[in-house]
A and B are shown apart, each in its own frame.
Chain A
Amino acid sequence: MEKLKSLADLKKIREDARVKLDLRVKGDNPEGLVQVKVAMATCGIASGAKPIMDFFVDELDKRGIGAVVTQTGCMGYCYAEPTVEVQLPGQEPVVYGFVDRKRADEIIEKYIKNGELVEGIIPVNYEKID
């Protein structure tokens, strides 16, 4: 594929994406999209949150999963960065700690695709600093 240089080149991708997304929304996921939030304060970034967010952006798109990927701030789990909050449509959000590429891949394959919980969950009532 030729390299993209301007916004005009993006229009083509946009059209393709729209067709794909339409199929997804009409298909098996009518209630909404998966939400992936990567914690990206200083602690997250210093622990490698950016490559993890890049990974989610690339892989969710490549694997054709309709998802919203965004950043959040620090949730106070600095020791467990990079942390990622995943919310499946209609479910409570789940926070995963110490996410590397391997765990990110597991999260996509097991949790996002099949709803199967993956190791590394930070419980909601976990003790926080005051």
Chain B
Amino acid sequence: MKEIALHLLDIAQNSVRACATEIRITLAVSPATDTLTLEVKDNGSGMDEETCKRASDPWYTSRTTRRVGLGLPLLQMNATLSGGTFKVTSAPGKGTVVTATFGYSHIDRPPLGDISGTIALLILSNPSINIVFTHILDERTWCISTREIIDELGREAVSDLAIVRGLREIISENISESKIHET
């Protein structure tokens, strides 16, 4: 994975498969403390302690279509390579939290990539899951959620391609400062 956005797209898919009804995605960019944190928290089926430990083993997967599961191990690798940390906490029936912290100014930190496009695609692809995206840049916070969009524009809006393209633009506008910081 070459971008943090692609990791996010990948990890969020785990939550979808765990039958989550709500996925909370937090992207905290903090040049002040030189960290960039990506957290994906869901209320899905969760994992017991044993499974949770094996989740970041590339040879472990709950799938039957193939024998490897590289999503979490790749994220762990990229986080630790940039001097950051990686943590998965989970409880059966409660849900799972994946937290990856990157060294913000570290040369090996992958670029943010297309975060706005990723959030828009997640909202489009999972209309029955409330995706809550929070962007934090130092002290400032901006948030958008599937529920908010449905309340404002109606249920079918989230499957509408024109709306999703507009949504991408809105998110991009509101997180643009992080992108400027980055370059």
User: Which residues of A does B touch, CB under 8 Å?
Assistant: 3-11, 13-14, 16-17, 20-21, 40-43, 45-46, 50, 53-54, 57-58, 60-61, 67-71, 73-76, 78, 128-129
- B117 touches which of A41, A42, A54, A61 (Cβ 8 Å): A54
The answer to whether A10 touches B65, judged by C-beta atoms less than 8 angstroms apart, is no
The answer to whether A45 touches B9, judged by C-beta atoms less than 8 angstroms apart, is yes
Kindly list chain A residues whose C-beta atoms are within 8 Å of the C-beta of B163. Answer: 10, 13-14, 17
Kindly list chain A residues whose C-beta atoms are within 8 Å of the C-beta of B153. Answer: 7, 10-11, 14
Number of interface residues of B (CB under 8 A): 42
- B10 touches which of A17, A42, A75 (Cβ 8 Å): A42
Kindly list chain A residues whose C-beta atoms are within 8 Å of the C-beta of B121. Answer: 50, 53-54, 57, 71
Contact with A along B157-178 (1 / 0, CB 8 A): 1011111111101100110000
Does B114 belong to the interface (CB within 8 Å)?
yes
Determine the main DSSP class of B at the interface with A. Answer: helix
Kindly list chain A residues whose C-beta atoms are within 8 Å of the C-beta of B66. Answer: 43, 74, 76, 78, 129
The answer to whether A10 touches B152, judged by C-beta atoms less than 8 angstroms apart, is yes
Q: Which of B113-129 contact A (CB under 8 A)?
A: 114, 117-118, 121, 124-126
Kindly list chain A residues whose C-beta atoms are within 8 Å of the C-beta of B63. Answer: 73-74
- B157 touches which of A6, A8, A14, A75 (Cβ 8 Å): A14
A74 to B149, CA, bound (A): 29
For A65, the closest partner residue in chain B by CB is B161
- B170 touches which of A5, A57, A61, A68 (Cβ 8 Å): A5
